[in-house]
Amino acid sequence: MATKKFRCKVCGYVHEGDKAPSVCPVCKAPASEFEEVMPVQAEGDVQFVPVKKKLDTNSNTYTLIYAAVMVIVVAFLLAFVNSVLRDRQNENIKMDTKKQILAALHVDKVADVNAEFARYVKADRLMNADGTLGETVDDSQFATSYEKEVKDNGRLHVFVCEVDGQTKYVIPVYGTGLWGAIWGYVALNADKNSVYGVYFSHASETPGLGAEIASKPFFEKFPDKKVLDAAGSSVALGVMKNGKVEDPSSQVDGISGGTITSNGVDQMLKKCLSAYMKFLTSKE
């Protein structure tokens, strides 16, 4: 095994051995003042130059630094991927929301969502305090959470639509079922008091039971139902326990075995549509 050489950085003394001496025999400098060197032939003379230290991949310091670098690199890559995909994800959510609004208008199996939406939905308007429709929302600011729009921004959306030359209005609704969020869209005829169509969906209702609120057989119970009571003072449109309908003109049977979810839809309709009472009863 080749003998190593260590040079004193104070006096230049060169020591040969496996390690630096504890004390320089010439100037008494401690071992910390020694550096490992190697002889290099230069212009016929031998010079000693410091040996480049190899990275100790077994040390704790190396392990910690390596782990920290990997965490930073992975975090950066995840942030980059998330940034790249965010716009696409948001666009997909936007397209799905538009498809749900179109479904309330009985427009299904849409190939080009934006084209069909532009064909049927003429404006996304905000309701004024007096019930009239005011500001038109640009498509670039299209909302996908109408619960957040109401709670955070106080904005009540009304989609003004046209189907076969007739005006329709679509109102977003949202609430809570048995296991989580439920939401939907209620399309009204021009009189604003009769249902043209509905669409409902959910986050986690029980398949075959509460989840049936998102089925066509349930949707088909709503067309032509009255939204307001006879006096026009409150929302009558609702969902009753299966077989317990009292007013067929405005109530529908709930889902068998899905009573709590059905109650959630009933409460959702009452609460959300009540916020639009001034619009529903206005002459506009």
For residues 111-126, average pLDDT: 97
Residue-wise pLDDT for 170-217, tens only, equals 999 999 999 999 999 999 999 999 999 999 999 999 999 999 999 999
pTM to 2 decimal places? 0.74
Vertex 39 angle, CA 35 and 43, to 5°:
130
Residue-wise pLDDT for 260-284, tens only, equals 999 999 999 999 999 999 999 998 6
Give strand ranges (E) for the chain.
Answer: 4-8, 14-17, 34-42, 45-50, 121-127, 133-136, 157-163, 166-176, 181-188, 195-202, 238-240, 251-253
Task: Check residue 46 and give its pLDDT.
Answer: 75
For residues 124-130, average pLDDT: 97
Neighbours of 214 (CB within 10 A): 15
Task: Check residue 227 and give its pLDDT.
Answer: 98
The residue that leads in pLDDT, 81 or 212, is 212
Average confidence score pLDDT of the chain: 93
- Domains present along the chain, CATH in parentheses: 4-50 (2.20.28.10), 92-280 (no CATH)
Residue 232: what are its φ and ψ, rounded to 5°? 70, 25
Whether the pLDDT of residue 42 is over 80: the answer is no
Report the amino acid identity of residue 198: V
For residues 69-96, average pLDDT: 90
Q: What angle do helix axes 60-104 and 113-120 make, rounded to 10 degrees?
A: 40
Nearest to 158 by CA among 280, 281, 14, 24: 280
